[in-house]
């Protein structure tokens, strides 16, 4: 690819990235990712998406035993799963709303089971309550993605004493931020989870954007 082609492509990608973060209905999000699935891995590297590597680095510091049962929420094409596998985790399942993304992930042989489920749209979660020791999610929760209300469902998938960890760009001021804080607080106040540590800021989640790494424990 010539330098001109590359810079034109990156400009298009900027618009695409902006579109990916626009608030939309889950069905529209799904359509967006269905059309992106086959080029996702190649294209996210063009805007320096470092989420899975950064999350794995922070997660490793928690020294979670390697034999835990893990569900990767919004697993996409499996980038976080690959990082966790490299750390020595082997019992990892994937959940995502987009079939095409899961099909790319399936070919990488990282996950034991892959579940298609669209939070905020599909009715019944395919996961039995209390199945996993750990739920992880990278770049999959927030505007244009999984609604914050899904924290209730994600927490239900985890065993008592298990962890829910995620890395995403924090919501900006406004309604989104209020909803985010209110769901987190509601689950805290009702004694359903507690923070294991303060959110950790990581730089260059993509480009120059930072993100926050959260670790909550199910009570
Ligand atoms: C930016 S990708 C992240 C994928 C992977 N975790 C990574 O870091 O490369 C976001 C993923 O969230 C999924 N997703 C978005 N909204 C969803 C929803 N409501 N329910 C389930 N999956 C959703 C998309 O299908 C997509 O695969």
CA-wise closest residue to 33 among 14, 16, 47, 51: 16
Q: Which of 13, 27, 33 to mutate to test the pocket of ligand 1 (most atoms within 8 A of CB)?
A: 33
CA of 94 to the centre of ligand 1 (A): 11
β-partners of residue 218 are 193
Tell me the pLDDT of the chain (219 aa) as tens digits.
Answer: 555 555 555 567 788 888 888 889 999 999 999 999 999 999 898 889 999 999 999 999 999 999 999 999 999 999 999 999 999 999 999 999 999 999 999 999 999 999 999 999 988 999 999 999 999 999 999 989 999 999 999 999 999 999 999 999 988 888 889 999 999 999 999 999 999 999 999 999 998 999 999 999 999
Q: Are 219 and 193 in contact (CB under 8 A)?
A: yes
Q: Which residues neighbour 153 within 8 Å (Cβ) at sequence distance 6 or greater? A: 119, 125
Structural domains of the chain ordered from first start: 3-218 (3.40.50.150)
CB of 100 shorter than 6 A to ligand 1: no
CB of 79 shorter than 6 A to ligand 1: yes
CA of 4 to the centre of ligand 1 (A): 31
Q: What is the pLDDT of residue 4?
A: 56
Q: What is the pLDDT of residue 30?
A: 96
Instruction: Report d(CA 82, CA 125) in Å as an integer.
Output: 24
Instruction: Report d(CA 175, CA 100) in Å as an integer.
Output: 31
Q: What is the pLDDT of residue 143?
A: 87
């Amino acid at each position: 690819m010539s330098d001109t082609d590359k810079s034109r492509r990156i400009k298009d990608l900027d618009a695409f990235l902006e579109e990916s973060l626009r608030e939309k209905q889950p069905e529209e999000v799904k359509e967006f990712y269905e059309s992106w699935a086959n080029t996702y891995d190649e294209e996210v590297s063009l805007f320096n998406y470092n989420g899975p590597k950064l999350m794995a680095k922070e997660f490793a510091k928690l020294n979670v035993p390697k034999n835990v049962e893990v569900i990767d929420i919004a697993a996409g094409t499996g980038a976080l799963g690959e990082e966790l596998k490299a750390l020595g985790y082997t019992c990892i399942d994937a959940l995502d709303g987009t079939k095409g993304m899961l099909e790319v992930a399936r070919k990488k042989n990282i996950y034991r089971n892959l579940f298609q489920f669209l939070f905020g749209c599909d009715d019944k979660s395919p996961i039995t309550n209390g199945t996993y020791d750990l739920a992880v999610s990278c770049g999959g929760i927030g505007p244009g993605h999984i609604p914050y209300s899904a924290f209730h469902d994600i927490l239900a998938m985890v065993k008592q004493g298990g962890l829910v960890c995620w890395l995403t760009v924090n919501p900006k001021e406004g309604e989104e931020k209020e909803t985010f804080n209110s769901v987190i607080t509601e689950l805290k106040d009702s004694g359903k989870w507690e923070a294991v540590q303060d959110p950790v800021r990581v730089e260059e989640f993509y480009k120059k954007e930072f993100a926050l790494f959260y670790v909550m424990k199910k009570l």
